[in-house]
Chains A and B, each alone.
Chain A
Amino acid sequence: MAARIPEPEAPELVARNLAVGARLAAGATTFAFLGPVFAYLYLRSLNTADLWHPAGVDPPLLLGTAIVLLTAASAVVLLLASRRAAASRNRLLFLASLSFLLGIAAVALQVVEYFVLGFGPTDGGYASVFVAWSGLTAVFALGTMLWLETLIAFMLRGGERDPSQAIGPRFAALAFYWAYLAGLGIVMWVCLYVTA
């Protein structure tokens, strides 16, 4: 069967797919977090059997703040990097790597937090929401950092010099998504640490 070889696709197509995809993924992510958010508001207002937040269940505020700051910083650095993707390769690589390290540090700190928590998932509604919400955020953050790692590794190999593989749109899509996720992380911080 002699299938006609189609002409190569326009490079803008990949850029558009990534841009639309990142925004759609942000929407889906929002709805994924609806579960813990709903549970937070709902169980808090119901306070069944006075067990929403028993005494002694206190989140480590310092650690939590550090986690959210690291996440936000990582997202801001990546946004800066993506804005100047075309400027200088070394600068982009530096900022992206910095963002990666900050993001991974946030995830690692989240894991540390579970070990020093002082309460367990069974200790009432708040404790349950805390574990599920922070855990879900950490999983999403880890996935996003792996995505970032693929771009850094690609640049380290010099792949972006191939004109058909524009790196700019890839960073733009990723930076948008990561910033969005960091925003959700700030919402989580306000709910779980500040107004707990």
Chain B
Amino acid sequence: MSSDKQSQPERHRDLLWFLLIWVVASAVLTPLYIIFVPLPANGNSNDATGQHLDNGVLDAVAIPAVLLVVCFLAYAMVRFRQTGPEIEEGPRVYGHRGLQNVWIVVTSVLVTGLFAFGTWRILAPGAAGSGQGANPLSPASTKGGVSPLPVQVIGQQWQFTYRYPTYGGLETPRLVLPYGRVIEFHVTSLDVIHSFWAYELGVKADANPGVDNVAYVTPTRPGGFDVRCAELCGIWHGYMFARGRVVTRPAFERWIAQQKRFFEPVTHYLPPYSDSYLPPPLRRGG
């Protein structure tokens, strides 16, 4: 029960107790969370690893912020609660310029810091695995003169297919990638908007009809990954998923050769490789 007239030291004691609880809770819980909650997937590609780091940085800001509010509410509800029929009035405090200024400065610094961090990450080569449109601002770096492997992702209701333009424009319903090499996805759609999401690789790029949307990734270890459509595209949207594989380079070459043989009878019927595929222009219907 707080006394009606709190003295100055008593007021400070409330503040100190609350701050102590908050600092201890943050110091304990934040590292625990960052270490033990492995979200999102980590380690399968440069993008996934990068996003894991980004989320860790955001966690380090977010968890103390949430704890601030939680500790504050808990402390206030216990310490300052008033029951009984008598209405007791609180102190008449209209504001505090110092606290106000500190708050504005701290939030502004945090926000600009997060902005700078996010911008730095997105301007880094490869740009965090998200679709960058037809003219990427930050193409992936190609060290050692190895050019990226272009893979076209074609969304249609309700399946993704993949074209490998450097392998004779082969089109296949399966996605297999070599690891250790920069992959340059060109995502487009034939009908409505889809979104190509390779979860474990940390890649997401919308597939728009008539648009070439480029995203980069470098898979860093072999294994399977999920491909899902992440934009509502019609009634079978929920079934638009598949598994992809990351394999070694020789295994990839073997797989490509096998696919080329398998699809040879149909590949030459496909339209020539293009950034996007639209139906021929409509005639003016008078």
Contact = CB atoms under 8 A, between A and B. Distances in A.
Direct chain A–B contact by Cβ atoms under 8 Å:
yes
A72 B285 CA distance: 35
Contacts of B235: none
B284 A56 contact: yes
Contacts of A123: 284-285
Contact of A49 (B278, B284, B285): B278
A122 B285 contact: yes
A49 B278 CA distance: 8
Interface string A31-54: 000000000000000001111001
Interface in B158-175: none
B210 A48 contact: yes
A122 B282 contact: yes
Contacts of A51: 281-282
A46 to B, nearest CB: 9
B280 to A, nearest CB: 9
Contacts of A122: 282, 284-285
Interface in A94-131: 119-120, 122-123
Given A48-B210, A49-B210, A120 B278 contact: no
Contact of A50 (B281, B284, B286): B281
Contacts of B281: 49-51
Interface in B162-192: none
A120 B210 contact: no
Interface in A118-161: 119-120, 122-123
A49 B281 CA distance: 7
B190 to A, nearest CB: 14
Nearest to B279: A49
Contacts of A56: 284
Contacts of A54: 284
Interface residues of B, number: 7
B20 to A, nearest CB: 50
Interface in A49-79: 49-51, 54, 56
A56 B284 CA distance: 9
Contacts of A48: 210, 278
Contacts, number: 18
Interface on chain B toward A: helix, strand, loop, or mixed SS?
Answer: loop
Contacts of B286: 120
A56 B286 CA distance: 11
Interface in B185-218: 210
A115 to B, nearest CB: 15
A43 to B, nearest CB: 12
Contacts of B285: 120, 122-123
A47 to B, nearest CB: 11
Contacts of A49: 210, 278, 281
Of B284, B285, B286, most buried by chain A (CB within 10 Å of CB) is B284
Contacts of B278: 48-49
Contacts of B284: 54, 56, 119, 122-123
A116 to B, nearest CB: 14
Nearest to A119: B284
Interface string B255-286: 00000000000000000000000100110111
A135 B126 CA distance: 46
A48 B278 CA distance: 10
A54 B282 CA distance: 11
A56 B281 CA distance: 15
A48 B212 CA distance: 12
A123 B282 CA distance: 9
A77 to B, nearest CB: 40
A49 B276 CA distance: 10
A123 B286 CA distance: 9
Contacts of A120: 285-286
Given A49-B210, A120-B286, 16 more contacts: A48-B210, A48-B278, A49-B278, A49-B281, A50-B281, A51-B281, A51-B282, A54-B284, A56-B284, A119-B284, A120-B285, A122-B282, A122-B284, A122-B285, A123-B284, A123-B285
18 contacts: A48-B210, A48-B278, A49-B210, A49-B278, A49-B281, A50-B281, A51-B281, A51-B282, A54-B284, A56-B284, A119-B284, A120-B285, A120-B286, A122-B282, A122-B284, A122-B285, A123-B284, A123-B285
Considering the complex of A and B, which 10 residue pairs feature the smallest CB-CB distances, nearest first? A49-B278, A123-B284, A48-B210, A122-B285, A49-B281, A51-B281, A49-B210, A54-B284, A56-B284, A120-B285
